Structure 1
Amino acid sequence: MKKLWPNSLVGQLLLVVAAMLLLAQAINSFLLFRGAQNQNLIEASTVAVSRIAYGLERQAQDRPAFREGSMRARRWGRLKYSGHSVVTDDMDRLPELEMRAGQAFSNMGAGFSDIRAAYLTELMPDMTGYLVGSNRGTRRNGPINRSLGGRPSPRETRGFIVISAQQADGQWVSLASAVQGRTPLLVRSLLLQTITIYLLMLIPLILLGRYISRPLKSLTAKANTFQPGETEALAEQGPPDTRELIRAFNDMSGRVTNMIGEKDVMLGAIGHDLRTPLAALRVRVESVEDDFERERMIAGIEDIDHMLDDILSLARVGRSKEQSDTVDVRSLIETIVDEFTDLGHDVRYQRGEKQTASIRETLVRRALRNLVGNAILYGKSADIALQKSGDRLLISVDDDGPGIPNDEMETMFEPFLRGESSRNRATGGSGLGLTLARAIARDHGGDIILKNRESGG
């Protein structure tokens, strides 16, 4: 079912409308067929009633042209006289037709004490000689009638109406009338009507759907590629509601850009105002005679300076002025590995094939340094692997540390949250490393995922 349900707004709208039209047309067709069926029954019963009344009138007048066995009698259908009704209680009685027949007989001046009508799919043998209406299609299909534009083919007989009326002397007079079937013309008319309705409804809906969905697709693409600082507004198009939505998006993107610009100005000012007194404080600290205290003070100033640098870098992700360049990622990883191994850390990397990607090298270098630094800090070693999966590169950094509980993995990316409680950079830093690394990865269309290894780490 999900495969049949389209993803687009236009497709869903058209599918719902088409289904409703099909349902409505099916109900309409059912009602038309039922109406045609009832009409055929009424037509057949009307023929039988009129023939019975006409036959009784002519026989009452004792006219030779309508006597039993005459050509005219055979043409108009002979009446069956019997002491009992040919319509029995086990037949498919038609009370409504019986009432209509009684009213018709009364209007024509024929009085009957009881009237019975039934519908039969097969005519009983004793009524085969008392049937009217079975040769109407054949007669109308004759050469003369066809040349005059008559019916091209006879309708199929699909049943029989038998009407039996009891006269005042107790004798029953009966006659059968053929019920003509539905013609193919009705089916063709319904098909043509359905196709016409679909064309008249669906084609305008397709055009309307495209008129509505085109600006929505442009809005979606603009939202997915939105970068703070963009000054080009999205053109307002489509119906009034869609134009209002696009206008609201343009206003929102302008406010976001202004807010981020104000934030950058504020952070730049904070960075300048903090680094100046920190530099002056470090100069004064150099004059402290106690070597131990002097080193502790310098380490504290460096921690503040590194934390300030991490905060500013995190705030500027996505706003970097550095252009993306095609970089050999394999060589970039090797450079980072050399930096850590020169400091005596256990970092391993199996050199593979050359893999290039369009990245901001400085940012990606910083993200990898943070990941490798965490691996060394908590796992004492780092094992790096580079794989290509489709149009993406997968960089794995494994360690042999204690791992992280599964319910805490996502929280490790929150700012200033660390797996180790101290704020000493020697034992963990400021808690912005993973946050900054993930922000850089997502800025490049990727992500960072934490996962415990089965062997630990």
Structure 2
Amino acid sequence: MKRLWPSSLVGQLLLVVALMLFLAQGINSFLLYRGAENQNLVEASTAAVARIAYGLDRQAVDRSDLRDVPKRSRRWGRLKTGSESAVTEDMGRLPELETRAGQAFTNMGITFSDIRATFTRHLTTDMSGYLIGANKGDWRNSPINRSMGGDSPPSETRGFVIISLQDADGQWISIASAVRERTPLLIRTLLLQTVTIYLLMLIPLILLGRYISRPLKSLTARAHSFQPGETSDLAEEGPPDMRELIRAFNDMSGRVSSMINEKDVMLGAIGHDLRTPLAALRVRVESVEDDVDRERMIAGIEDIDHTLDDILSLARVGRSSEESDPVDIRSLIETIVDEFTDLGHNVRYQRGEKQIAAVRETLVRRALRNLIGNAILYGKTADISVEKSGDKLMIYVDDDGPGIPEKTIDSMFEPFSRGDASRNRATGGSGLGLTLARAIARDHGGDIILKNRENGGLRATLMLPIG
């Protein structure tokens, strides 16, 4: 069902309107069909009433004058008479037809003590000789009439209406009338009506939907690709509500860009104001005579400097002036691995196939360094492997450390968060490594996932889009 349901707002609107039209037309078709059936019954009963009146009129003619009446007229006036009604108790009565017939006979000045009418699919044997309307159209179907381009063949017989009337002497007068089936013409009319309604309703809605969806798609694409600092505004198109929405988006993007610009200026000033006294402090610390104290002071200053660098880098993610270029991820990883192995760390890389991805090399290099650094810091070793999954490149960094409790994995991405006791401040670091790495990954359209390994240790997965 989800496959049939459109994903776009305009598509859903058109589908709902189409379904409602279909439902309304279905109800309308049902009512028209029932009305046509009732009309067929009324026409058949009207013919029966007319033939009864005609038959009674012919019976009033003197027997000697009846010889001058054409045989066709005598056949038309033939009625079944007897002491019992042709409409028995087990047959379903048609009160509406009985009322119509009674009113018609009253208007003609003919009175009956009882009137009965019914509809049956199959005519009983005793009424087969008192049927009207069954041979209607024989002349129209003759070869001569067809060769002259006469009317189309009559509709099929759907059933029969039987009318029985009791006169003042207690005798029952009965006749049967064929009910014709006219639904094929009705179905063609309903189909034509349905197609016309759909064309008149859906074509304007489709045009209106395109008028609305075009600027909506442009707005969605701009929102997805929004980068702070963009100077060009999105063109205001579509209906008034859509134009107002685009105008509000342009104003919001302008305010966001201004706020980020102010933040960058402020962070740049903070970085400059802090690094200058740190550099001066570093020079003064060099004059400390005690080697132990001097090394501790220098380590503290470097820790502050690294923390400040991480904060500034995190703040600038998404505002980097570096363009994305095709990079061989395999070569990039090998370079980083060589850096760590040169420092004496146990880092292994399972060399795979060459993989090219459009990334900002400097930022991705920093993200991988953070992940590998964490693996070495908490697990002593780091195993790196690369795997392609669909349109994503999965870079796995595995360690043999204690892992992270499942309930605290999400919180590890929070700034300055360290998790359990094995990841305390004594191990070093600013607590921004994972936060910065995930920000870099998401800036590229990817992400970072942390998961405990079954045999112990932690797996950090850096996902990057390919292409």
Under TM normalisation by the shorter chain, which class is it?
over 0.9
Letter of the aligned partner of 2:137 in structure 1?
G
* Count of paired positions: 457
Asked whether the equivalents of residues 160 and 176 of structure 1 are also in contact (C-alpha less than 8 Å), the reply is yes
Moved more, 419-428 or 320-329: 419-428
C-alpha spacing 1:45/1:141, structure 2 compared with 1 (3 Å): same
Any idea what SS the aligned residue of 1:450 has? Answer: strand
Any idea what SS the aligned residue of 2:289 has? Answer: coil
Any idea what SS the aligned residue of 2:387 has? Answer: strand
* Partner Cα separation in structure 1 for residue 67 and residue 125 of structure 2: 23
The answer for the alignment partner of 1:313 in structure 2 is: 313
C-alpha spacing 1:374/1:66, structure 2 compared with 1 (3 Å): farther
Letter of the aligned partner of 1:380 in structure 2?
K
1:453 has 2:446 as partner = no
The answer for the alignment partner of 1:430 in structure 2 is: 430
Q: For residues 227-306 of structure 1, what are the structure 2 equivalents within 5 Å? A: 227-306=227-306
Q: For residues 404-415 of structure 1, what are the structure 2 equivalents within 5 Å? A: 404-415=404-415
Deviation string, structure 1 residues 209-234 (Cα, Å, up to 9, x no partner): 11111111111111111111111111
Asked whether the equivalents of residues 49 and 101 of structure 1 are also in contact (C-alpha less than 8 Å), the reply is yes
Asked whether the equivalents of residues 404 and 420 of structure 2 are also in contact (C-alpha less than 8 Å), the reply is no
* Partner Cα separation in structure 1 for residue 422 and residue 271 of structure 2: 24
Deviation string, structure 1 residues 140-175 (Cα, Å, up to 9, x no partner): 445776688753111211111111111111111111
The answer for the alignment partner of 1:218 in structure 2 is: 218
Asked whether the equivalents of residues 330 and 354 of structure 1 are also in contact (C-alpha less than 8 Å), the reply is yes
Q: For residues 359-374 of structure 1, what are the structure 2 equivalents within 5 Å? A: 359-374=359-374
C-alpha spacing 1:241/1:316, structure 2 compared with 1 (3 Å): same
Asked whether the equivalents of residues 420 and 427 of structure 1 are also in contact (C-alpha less than 8 Å), the reply is no
CA deviation after TM superposition for structure 1 residue 424, in Å: 7.8
* Partner Cα separation in structure 2 for residue 228 and residue 279 of structure 1: 32
Q: For residues 27-426 of structure 1, what are the structure 2 equivalents within 5 Å? A: 27-62=27-62, 71-142=71-142, 151-419=151-419
Any idea what SS the aligned residue of 2:395 has? Answer: strand
* Partner Cα separation in structure 2 for residue 452 and residue 420 of structure 1: 14
C-alpha spacing 1:349/1:55, structure 2 compared with 1 (3 Å): same
Any idea what SS the aligned residue of 1:217 has? Answer: helix
The answer for the alignment partner of 2:465 in structure 1 is: none
Moved more, 371-380 or 52-61: 52-61
C-alpha spacing 1:355/1:143, structure 2 compared with 1 (3 Å): closer
* Partner Cα separation in structure 2 for residue 250 and residue 146 of structure 1: 75
Letter of the aligned partner of 2:221 in structure 1?
A
CA deviation after TM superposition for structure 1 residue 253, in Å: 0.8
* Partner Cα separation in structure 1 for residue 300 and residue 64 of structure 2: 135
Moved more, 385-394 or 308-317: 385-394
Moved more, 312-321 or 4-13: 4-13
* Partner Cα separation in structure 1 for residue 148 and residue 250 of structure 2: 72
CA deviation after TM superposition for structure 1 residue 180, in Å: 1.1
Letter of the aligned partner of 1:151 in structure 2?
D
* Partner Cα separation in structure 2 for residue 307 and residue 65 of structure 1: 128
C-alpha spacing 1:330/1:102, structure 2 compared with 1 (3 Å): same
C-alpha spacing 1:361/1:65, structure 2 compared with 1 (3 Å): farther
Gaps of 5+ in 2: 458-467
* Partner Cα separation in structure 2 for residue 198 and residue 440 of structure 1: 51
Any idea what SS the aligned residue of 1:23 has? Answer: helix
Asked whether the equivalents of residues 77 and 131 of structure 1 are also in contact (C-alpha less than 8 Å), the reply is no
Letter of the aligned partner of 2:306 in structure 1?
H
* Partner Cα separation in structure 2 for residue 53 and residue 288 of structure 1: 135
* Partner Cα separation in structure 2 for residue 63 and residue 148 of structure 1: 41
Asked whether the equivalents of residues 423 and 429 of structure 1 are also in contact (C-alpha less than 8 Å), the reply is no
Asked whether the equivalents of residues 378 and 423 of structure 2 are also in contact (C-alpha less than 8 Å), the reply is no
* Partner Cα separation in structure 2 for residue 41 and residue 380 of structure 1: 94
C-alpha spacing 1:212/1:151, structure 2 compared with 1 (3 Å): same
C-alpha spacing 1:426/1:345, structure 2 compared with 1 (3 Å): farther
The answer for the alignment partner of 2:20 in structure 1 is: 20
CA deviation after TM superposition for structure 1 residue 411, in Å: 0.9
Asked whether the equivalents of residues 77 and 130 of structure 1 are also in contact (C-alpha less than 8 Å), the reply is no
CA deviation after TM superposition for structure 1 residue 177, in Å: 1.1
Letter of the aligned partner of 2:257 in structure 1?
T
CA deviation after TM superposition for structure 1 residue 64, in Å: 5.3
Letter of the aligned partner of 1:125 in structure 2?
T
* Partner Cα separation in structure 1 for residue 448 and residue 15 of structure 2: 40
* Partner Cα separation in structure 2 for residue 25 and residue 354 of structure 1: 61
Moved more, 196-205 or 217-226: 196-205
Asked whether the equivalents of residues 275 and 305 of structure 2 are also in contact (C-alpha less than 8 Å), the reply is yes
* Partner Cα separation in structure 2 for residue 112 and residue 452 of structure 1: 97
CA deviation after TM superposition for structure 1 residue 85, in Å: 1.1
Letter of the aligned partner of 2:270 in structure 1?
I
* Partner Cα separation in structure 2 for residue 32 and residue 254 of structure 1: 60
Moved more, 336-345 or 166-175: 336-345
Asked whether the equivalents of residues 36 and 183 of structure 2 are also in contact (C-alpha less than 8 Å), the reply is no
CA deviation after TM superposition for structure 1 residue 427, in Å: 0.6
Deviation string, structure 1 residues 391-428 (Cα, Å, up to 9, x no partner): 43221111000011112111101111113569987613
Deviation string, structure 1 residues 29-65 (Cα, Å, up to 9, x no partner): 1111111110111111111112212221232243756
Letter of the aligned partner of 1:153 in structure 2?
P
Letter of the aligned partner of 2:182 in structure 1?
R
User: Normalising by the residue count of structure 1, what TM-score does the alignment of the two structures yield?
Assistant: 0.94
* Partner Cα separation in structure 2 for residue 281 and residue 432 of structure 1: 24
* Partner Cα separation in structure 1 for residue 54 and residue 180 of structure 2: 22
Letter of the aligned partner of 1:118 in structure 2?
T
Letter of the aligned partner of 2:128 in structure 1?
T
Asked whether the equivalents of residues 140 and 146 of structure 2 are also in contact (C-alpha less than 8 Å), the reply is yes
* Partner Cα separation in structure 1 for residue 171 and residue 264 of structure 2: 110
What RMSD in Å do the two structures reach over aligned CA positions?
Answer: 2.2
